[in-house]
Amino acid sequence: MEPTIRSFRNVYKPEGPGARLVSIDDNPTTCTLSYSEIYPDKTSSHHIHEWEHEVYIIKGSGTLFCDGKEYPVRAGDAMFIPPNVDHYTLNNGGEGVMRRIEINPLAASQPGAPRGEGGTQGSGQPPVIRNRENLTAETGSRILGPIDGVPNYLMLYNGAMQPGAVSHAETGGHTHPWDHVIFCLEGHGTLVCGGKDYLVAEGDAVLVPPNELHQWKNEGDLPMVRVTFNHLDSAAHE
């Protein structure tokens, strides 16, 4: 199976609604991924629902509201918003447009998935917010993981892959029963999947199918930075 590679630049319209980069039609087994922008003094959708969000802020800063409480957020923050929490994000950080990706479980894309309007008091469970600068020996690359109570998938912050670096060089790649959903934050490189080379660049979302031999190579002259979303079962195999 070939990977899905889709740039936000090809599907997102400025000042328009969020654009689905990995959709249910791509047959992911873990999650979907959307790209959106919040303009100064504007907000994301204000709503409440039975599934969680994970959000990564690429650029900008503002305030996350969860059940009426305020949490400052900024570029490099990973946010786990628990299910049944009334929430939205306000761009009031004075840094221009906020750019972000949002990850949802597959249940959120099913027809008729219940979604309530904002203004309803939720469970009161607070979000988890961790900046990439705050990764520790305990978290490793898991910017959001089992220690945070995530129910479906974890978020890995794949720090800078330096020019010339190759993943799994000794084995020519690796395979596993879960898929990867990836967003390239910086740089560009080559994904080798099923014996074919695919160029991946900043702004691309990638779906690597399960059980497919794959490997990353940075053949450029700049570091490549990614965030990766894996099924929660993968945590036991890292």
Q: What is the C-alpha separation between 54 and 81, in angstroms, rounded?
A: 6
pLDDT of residue 60: 98
Whether the pTM exceeds 0.75: the reply is: yes
Average pLDDT over residues 178-199: 96
| Assigned CATH for 152-237 | 2.60.120.10
Q: Is the pLDDT of residue 186 over 70?
A: yes
Decide whether 10-108+120-132 matches 152-237 in CATH topology.
yes
pLDDT digits (tens, 9 = 90+) for 40-96: 999 999 999 999 999 999 999 999 999 999 999 999 999 999 999 999 999 999 999
pLDDT of residue 101: 98
The answer to whether residues 54 and 112 touch, using CB atoms and an 8 Å cutoff, is: no
Instruction: Delimit the domains of the chain by residue range.
Output: 10-108+120-132, 152-237
pLDDT of residue 150: 95
Q: Where are the beta strands (DSSP E) in the chain?
A: 4-7, 19-22, 31-38, 47-49, 53-59, 61-66, 69-74, 77-81, 87-90, 98-105, 115-117, 128-131, 142-144, 153-161, 180-186, 188-193, 196-201, 204-208, 214-217, 224-231
pLDDT of residue 238: 60
Q: What percent of the chain has pLDDT over 70?
A: 98
Average pLDDT over residues 169-192: 94
| CATH homologous superfamily of 10-108+120-132 | Jelly Rolls (2.60.120.10)
Average pLDDT over residues 23-28: 95
The answer to whether residues 29 and 212 touch, using CB atoms and an 8 Å cutoff, is: no
pLDDT digits (tens, 9 = 90+) for 94-137: 999 999 999 999 988 877 666 777 778 889 999 999 999 999 88
Q: What is the C-alpha separation between 91 and 98, in angstroms, rounded?
A: 7
What is the sign of the dihedral through the CA atoms of 230, 225, 90 and 124? positive
The answer to whether residues 54 and 78 touch, using CB atoms and an 8 Å cutoff, is: yes
